[in-house]
Amino acid sequence: MRTQDLIPLTKETRLSLTTNEAALHLSLKPQTLRAWGQSNSAPMTPVNVNGRLYWLVRDLVRVLNNGCALENGVEK
């Protein structure tokens, strides 16, 4: 998936996104989100389904709109 193919989060009908899709929305690398999945101090927590991480759209919106400043993928 490319950035230009992304559906705006305000129009997204799914409840969660894959790690790759969430990373594109946050302008981060997927590996950063995978590291968050194993961290207790991450700005959001994924849902684990059969070993795959999914990220709730509401959490993505919160991180993007809450003024949550990310520096190198880490909440400041």
pTM of the model: 0.81
Count of Cβ atoms closer than 10 Å to residue 24 Cβ: 18
Instruction: Please list, in sequence order, all residues whose beta carbon lies within 8 angstroms of the beta carbon of residue 61, skipping any fewer than 6 positions away.
Output: 9, 10
DSSP string, 9-76: GGG--SSEEEHHHHHHHHT--HHHHHHHHT-SS-SS-PEEETTEEEEEHHHHHHHHHTT--EETTEE-
Amino acid of residue 22? A
**What range does the domain containing 23 cover?**
3-75
Q: What is the pLDDT, as a whole number, of residue 71?
A: 52
Give the domain CATH number at 42.
1.10.10
How many independent structural domains does the chain possess?
1
pLDDT of the chain, 76 residues: tens digit per residue? 666 678 999 999 999 999 999 999 999 999 999 999 998 788 899 999 999 999 999 999 999 988 555 554 555 4
CA distance 76 to 70: 6
